[in-house]
Structure formats: C-alpha cells, structure tokens
Structure 1
Amino acid sequence: MSFTGDLEHLPIVDIIQLLHSTRKTGTLCLTSTKGESQLVFDDGYIVSANHVNNSVRIGQILITMNAINRQILEQALSQQENAGNNRKPLIATLIESGQLSKEDAYTGLETLIEMSIVEVLTWTKGTFSLDVHSTVVSDEYRYFPETLKQEIFLNTQSILMDALRIYDEKMRDGTLDGGAFSSSDVPLETHAALAPTAPQSNNLVTVEDLGLSDLDALEKKIPDVFGGLKDYDIAEIHRQKIREAAGNISPLEHEQLFNFLMEWSGTAPCRDTGMEPSTLAVIIFSQDNFVKHCLTTVCKYEGIFAFTTDESENLDLIIEQSLSKGLVPLMVMDAPQAYSSFSADKLISLLQLKLDRFPQLVVLQLISPYDHEYPLKALQAGARSVLARAASQENSSSFTSDTITFLSSFREYIKKSVHTAGNHVLRQFKDCIFELGTLKEVPEVAFIPLKFASTMFERCITFVIGTNEIIAERSIGIKAEKSAGASSPLLFKISLSEPSIFQNIVQSGGMFYGLSSDTVLKNRLFEEIGVPLQSKILLLPIKNFGRVIAVLYADFGSKTSSPVQIDLLDIIARHAGLVLDNNLFRKRFEKAA
C-alpha cells in the first residue's frame, strides 16, 4: 500500500477531497470494526464502489428510485440464474432487456457510490489505505465502459456534496444508525431476494445471480471484501505482521514480540483523555511493512497522527496536509538497506529536497546498526536525529530484542518531540518580548515584530505610514535569503488614495491573515517583490496611541503555507505599540522636568 493512515486523525471527507485534488488513481480501502468498503479512483474521479454491506445491491437502489419494480427485478434475477455461463451483470441484463434506461442505470450506480460514502461517513475509527497498483472495478461499473463505450467518471466533489446532504438528512431524521440503506427503503421480499445467502435450493438467489462472483477471479482483487462484516482484530494483525517479517523466529520470541505490540495497542496510561491533542504528525517513509506497522502502533499509543507511504511522490501532499492541519511534520525515513528502489545517495537527495521545500519539516533518519557512514551523511544533509533500527531477521539473531529496543527508543523520541514541537517559536517570542523592553526608538521597536514574523514566514516587510502612502522600509527574505537577515530600506511606495487592503488596514487598525486577491497587492506590491507561491498573506498594524504608524507585511515566498501562531504575532505588535506609548510618555515627562 502506498498511502495509509488513521481515520481518527484524518476524516474520510478530507481523504476523498485529497485524492480528488491530487488526481490519484487506485483503490481506497477503508477498514473499521464495522467492516470494509472500497472506492475506486481514476485520475481523481470515482469510477466504482464496493459497499461494506453485501445486502446493498444496485437492484435495491433501482427499486427505491422507481426505475424498476419488484416484478422486473425478480424477472431479471431469474434470467441471470438461467443464463449459466452466459450470465451478465444485473445492470446489463436490465438494459439489454429494455427494462432499464442507460440514464437510470447510470444514476443508480452514482447513487450506490453516494450511499457507500454515506455509510463510511459514520466511521470515526479505523484505517485507510490507497493502493495505486490496484483498480478493481465491479462488474456493474465495468459494463458501461466495456459494452456501452461510456466511461464512468463521477465528479468527486458533487458526489461528496450529495453524500454529505444525505448524511445530514439521515442524522436529522434519526435513521443513520441502521446504515445508509434502511429496511424501509424497499419491500421485505426484495431484501430477501437480494441477500447473499448460500444456495440451498434452485429458488434461492445468490451472489452469483447478481453477477458479482467474477470479482474473485480477477488477478488484481481485493481479498475477502465480499465476506460480510468482520471484526477488526488487532491481535491477529500483529501476529500476521510478525509472521511476514520474522517467520523463522522461535515461538517464544514470537510471543514476546506479540505481547510487546499488544501492550502498545491501546492508549498510553499516562495520557489524560482530556488533554490537548498532539501537535505532531509522523510521516513514515519506508518499504518495510513491518516497520511501518510497528511505528504506526507506537504513534497510535501516544495519540499522535501517523501517515505511512512507500512512494516519494506522496510525501509532498502528506506534508502539506499535515501543515494545513496546524501540525508539525516529523518524517521518519527508513535506512537505505530497507529500500529496493532507493540508493543511499538518492535518499540523501530526497531528504535535502523535502527540507528545502518544507523548512518546518523535522527528519528522523533510521539507520542500520552495521552502517557507520550513512548517519554522518544524513546529519550533514539536515536530518535532526538518527536512530538505529533492528536489522532484518535474516541478518540478526537478536531480531526480537533489537526490535523492542528500537521501538522503545522511537517512543521516547516522539514523546519529547511532542513537547518541543512549538518550543522554537515560543523561545523566539520570549526573547522578542524581553528585547522590546530595552528599546526606545521607533525604528528599533518596529524591527522586533519584523524579526519575530520571519520565524514563521519566508518574506517580511515593514511599511511606515506616510502622507497618503506607505513606504517600504527594512525587510527579510526579499533582497536575499531569509538566513541573510534584515536588508536596508527598500523605499518603494504604495499609494493609499484608492481602495485597497492596505487602505483598509490603515483606516480600521485591524489585522488581516488569509488569502487575498486585492488588485493593489497584485499590481503594485508583487511588481516590486515578486508573486509568492500562495496568496496567503499577513498584514499586521503597529500603533502608537491608537494610530497606525506602521504595517508589517509577510508571506510564504516560494514555500507552501505552514502553521502560524497569529495570537503571538498580535501580542508582539500590541506590546511594541505599548513600548512606543511608554517611551513617548517618558520623553514628555523628561522634557517637562
């Protein structure tokens, strides 16, 4: 699986929107205590759905739509039964017999997808995984492109909006507990006809009658999807992962490792259920399924958001999603020996590329206990820390004890990372507050908000208020890289004579942070400093006795947007204004004396 995570931390709606916006192709498998459900994507469009409940069939939906009646459905089912090896999907049988229009069939399939989404919207716990190597389309959905030469590309956003509307209606009416399809939707006899029961006589309808049994014969299949609801047995999952990774260890070692994982399969006893959620997102980049499973188990135990992927193409969207949620991304990169498609040099290049693109990213590099050269390269490339992982079972006689030590060390690392994720900004904030108390002159005081803003933004400018204009003074990240520090005054001017976001800030004295399509911003400011990658900006006024005397501008430059502590920026600006007020009072008293 190339993209996995936890439904508790990333809602299904966000997952579907993410796959649509990034135009992903593959099968999204959702698993919870309620069972499994799949949505198939092609270039971001939904092309098929396999519902969690085997009794939910397209025939039931068509009756609910009044597209067919029960008698027509029974005739079609009987026709399927008598067709033998020439049996066709139910949709095909109805269309070719003239009992169903293509338009109604298409709408029915669309509704099945909506109902599948409605069903899984109630899932708040469980896992999701996107398999980009599998696009299993059920028989009913394959009939349109293969026979009617009409592709099914359902607009994901529209389908999702309709599903949310139906979900809200069922929540309002109190009919959601029974599932997306209530028993009142169709007559009782129809439910009996559609239920996938084992054949006991020639009169009973089976899964084969519905034209769905061929899925089991597909080369790329989703195993055990149509076995009905099943338990999400974490104990069996642990045992299976151990068998796959270390099938040759002794039964005693197997139990030792299993018991260790089971101890960490709940919630850490030291964690208060009422405490604030973690600000950390762990992104595990590895091709080792056992490592991904174990690290995810530890993260869940500590209440930390975790993603796993084995494809570098997915890293940007996962990091961006984490940052959009206000989380600090911690990328765990597996040791070079764990990859079949990445050399040590290629991993170093990837590490540097991600750190350049996402300055907020923290990298924990896993290393082989026998590799003494790569750790230095990783640290020089920007990795925050390195951690020795267990060697493969074939190369180590102490696989079990090494794995337990590795996971215990990883747990301690992420626990400390949670507490320190925001410490850098807080330290800068504290230092700036203390420094403001030592300053007296306006340019010195106005520089402190600029410096503090640069800890969160890539480009910052202080504008001073002139006569019906603002004048660009010192800046960071405009003339040179942010690391070069503050530059000399820029001195270009922007008029306040016409309506603009700048005029509004100066007149109202309010702060602005968000997306802006302001014409003056685009035509005047960006002509001078260049257009940022994203249009999210900050405009923060600095006041003296209630009058705006300067405006701080900031954006993310060539980087993607990241979490910003707006409250701290506001406090810094207000404190700078108070310092200016006090200094002016002091000068007046000194002059009077």
Structure 2
Amino acid sequence: MSLNGDLENFPIIDIIQLLHGTKKTGVLRLSSKKGESQLVFHEGDLVSANYLNNRVRIGQVLVSAGAITEGQLAQVLEIQKNAGDERKPLVITLLEHNMVDETVAYNGLESLIEMTIVEVLTWKSGEFSLDMGKSGNADRYHFSRTKFPQRILLNSQGILMESLRIFDEKVRDGTMDEILSIAGITNLDLGAEQPENNVPAISEAWLDQDGVPTMMQQLLAEQRNMIQRSGDQSYRELGALKKLIVEEFPHAAKNLKRQLLELLSGPAPEGSTESAAPDIAVIVVTPSQLLSTMVKSICYQERIYSLSSDSIASLAINIRLLLCQTLHLVILLDVPHDDEMQDTLRVFGDIRRYPQASLVLVACSHFWDNLGLQALSSGIRSIIPKPCKECAGGSPVQQAVAFCSGLGNFLRSLLSEYGSSDEQRFFTCITRLRGCKTRTEIADAVLGYLIDVFERAIVFTVTESELVAEQSFGINGDKSEGLTLLSNLRVPLDDQQIFEDVIKTGQMYYGFHSDSTWPHQLYRLIGRLDSPEVLLFPLIRANTVVAFIYADFGSKSASSPSLRYLDALLQYTTAQISVTAYRQKLKSMLEQMRIQANPED
C-alpha cells in the first residue's frame, strides 16, 4: 500500500503520530528541493533513517562516533551484499556479528533519526510518500521478518518530542546550519551535490480528486476497519470447533452439540464490508479455550473486533491501541468456579488503569451466590453467567448454548447504553479534542463535557498576579445559552487557597470547598453557591498550569460527576496541549525563517 501527499497539508508531526498510533511498518519518504530523506517504521516504532539522498546513513554516524571502524563498516556492507533477499538492516547485522555495542547503536540511530526530522521541519514545502505493508519489503529489507532488539525500537512519540525540542533550541541559538552536529557528522559538504537531479518525482497518479486529505483518510479508515477484521480465523474452522465441542462435552446429546456448533460457526451478517461496524471492541481474559472461542465467534458474527488472552498484562499494547480510537472497550474477565474474589480484584486493579473501559465478569452461579454483590460494589460493570460443569450438573452444554444465544444481544445492549451514558459524552469530548489546534479550543471542548453536569464554569488563565477569565457558562445567564466570554472578570491569584494549590501541584480537585461561603472576590462577582462541591480542572503545558477550569453547581443541588472520566480527560488534554503548543511554536518559527530569508516580501 502506498500513500502520497503534501507536507504543507499534513505536516511530518501528524504523520509520525498517525503511524505510531496505527502501528505501521514501512518507509516514509520525504522529498523537497533539497533532496529525499527517509524514516523507517516497524510496527509504529522508528528503526532507521536516511538523510538527504542517503548522504548520511547509520554507518557513517557509527564511524564518526568511533563505535565501528571504516574496515568494520566495509565488512558488514559485504555481509549485507552477500545476503541477497535475506539482507537485514545494517544495525541488526552489526549486532548479530557482535561488532557494535547495543547502547551505542541505539544512540546512533536516535541521533540520525532526530537529525532527519529536524531537517524536514526546516522545509518550507515538501511531499511525502508512504510505502507500507505487512508482507512486502521496505527499502530492500523484509521488516516484517526482522526481529528488532527491544533497545533498537525507538518510540516514535518520544523521538518526535525530542526532535521538536532540538529544533526549538537551534532556532533560538541561531545554529540551524549545524544540523549535522546532531549525529556527530562534521566532515560532509552538503553543497557538493545537486539534489534536485536525484529526487524521484512524486507521482500524481496516487492523488485522489479531492486531494491529500482523502489519502490520509484512507489510512484512518484502515485503522477503523480493524474492527471488521479478525486476524487468526483458525478457531472458527469447522473441524476445530467439532473437536473442541466433543472434548468439552463428551456425553452431551448430539442435538445440543449440533446446536452449539451452528451457533459458533455462523457467518457474519450479510451486507457491505465497507458499512460501519459497531463502535465497540471486546477483550476476553480467560484460560478457557471454550469461553475464548465462544466470545470470539459471536463477536465475529456481530462484526465486533475481539481479542483473547489468559493474562491482562499481555494485552496492554492492544488496549492502548484500541483506546486511541473512538470505541467503547469492554473487557470480559473470566472468573474461575472456586475464585475467592482476591484474584479477580487484583486483575480488576490492573484494569482500572483504563477508566474508559467497562469491566464485565463472566462467572458461574456459585460465584454470584457467594460474591456477586461484593463484586458489583467494587466497581465492576456487570456480571453475566457462563457455562460451568461444576454448577450445571448434567447440562453444561445447554448453558453454553444459552450463553452464545444471548451474548450478541448483551453486547448490543452495552453499545446502546454507551450511546446514552456518560461514556458517550466522554468519547464525544475525546473526538472533539482530537481536532483542537489551540489551548482555547481544548478548554471549550472540556467545557462542552462539563456543561451537562455542572451549572457554572469559568476558564481562568493564570498570570503572575491574577486569574483572568475567558470562556464560561452559567455565569451571566442560564447554561442553556451556551458558552460566553467573560472579558472583564479578574480575581487575585491568592483569592482562594485551593486555586494556589492546583496551580502549584497540577492536580485536579473535586470536593467540598470550605472557602465557598467566604467573601472572596470570585463569589462577590459571580454569586455564592449553595452546594460546597467545586471542580478545579488544570490545563497544563510544559509541566506548568497555564489555565484551569473552575466549575460548581450554583444554586442547585450537587450531582455526581464521573471522576474517572475527568481524570482520563486531564491526561488527554495535558498531552494535547503540549502537541498544539509545539505546532504553534513551529509555525511561528518557520514564518520567521521565511521572513528572514526573504526580507523583501
């Protein structure tokens, strides 16, 4: 698969983040009048780079660093040449032949990739070409067959942020002409070639009539289509299903076995594969092959993406990837017949790191009779019955048939509930935040989430001596009037202690506010509140609280906001504000560089 486009419409920052989030493997080719550079990805991580028409490659970087000699470089290049189609990346070849220290190789790759990204950030215009595919090769290397040492897999997000920091530093210090020093290269004359003659033209045949956004939407659509596909379908083969049923229920009646087989082997619903799949994903944590097969088979028929494992820890990456999408994630946790709740609560503690996900226990009647209410009171979303040989006596296969018959409806009910619950508002807010380009837009998106719960809210910008109000709702009128600007509202920075605490700690606060009845400046301006519960939601950039949102219930009784979603929003907005700040700074720097280069404009 190949996608081409214009860096002016889709900057390298967005492309790297997209490839990181979708775990893509392939080569990103970046072209301008100065030449072509490449960034090589392996399942979302960066593994290599080539700088401006291959004039700086990892071998040169390692030689300049003294990590290898010219002779060793020539030797490893010969090994690569003789490997033919089995050729591996240079760093991997060096490591396999014990010719370089792994840490030194990592540092060399990191500096080369950062140098390449910083170079591209200086371009006023350019184009990109993305060649990717699991089964194909990239830049003559079969990356899908290459096992990269963990230390050689560079986190794309971390590298991007460090490259932006280096770019910022070099613009500030006026040392942008020393980009090569990032990788320790000092003896290369970049003016010795005429790169324009060597740059391969980007074919316009790949462009759709609607231009570049459509191509990027193809990549985003592929990310969404993962819900409609299942990787390994061997569990649904008729022979495997028959064998599993016979092994699990050797003495069951043939008609019940046949009924269960029909339920498990049923096809996906008819219709176009391009139609929208349910906005839900299911992860089942179970050691039981039967339960895993039942859940995955029914999810397949409902066109719901599903995963199965006997350990929640092994699914951490999958969970993070699913939560990057606008999905409602449901985790089904299998509870053994003789579980005494401790093991279940321990796993539940691990899952609570993902507040966006709903946890459903799959348990037998024995567990429900003894620990059901205790489990629900601990925060578990719900409990559904599962087939259990110990509880069912002589009819466990009937339980299996009932489970498969009702699971699809249960999952659809979760989706319906999600569509009308606080979860829906949370995911709607996340979707809106993804499109925000400024801190003000981010604050407005959070206000849009809070307006359904709180009666009043104000965004305060933090200055050295005072808090300056911006957007608000419910202050000068009813909140139904929407967001309004408070242009003349200012309060001293030390007006209330909890304000100072949030600014100093960066921690969100929700609870009783003992100062709420005092004659503080804020309440003289907006009126006192009848309920003492208040929310302070910090907006953080570069480890500093630059603004915060104050919210209360005004003259009405307090309701119960979802603190787990508020905490998740705090984490998301903190990351989003940092990215938008870098983009704004980068845009300003590039504009200054353009003006300096063309003072007559």
**Higher RCO (C-alpha under 8 Å, 6+ residues apart):** 1
* TM more than 0.5: no
TM-score normalised by the chain length of structure 2: 0.41
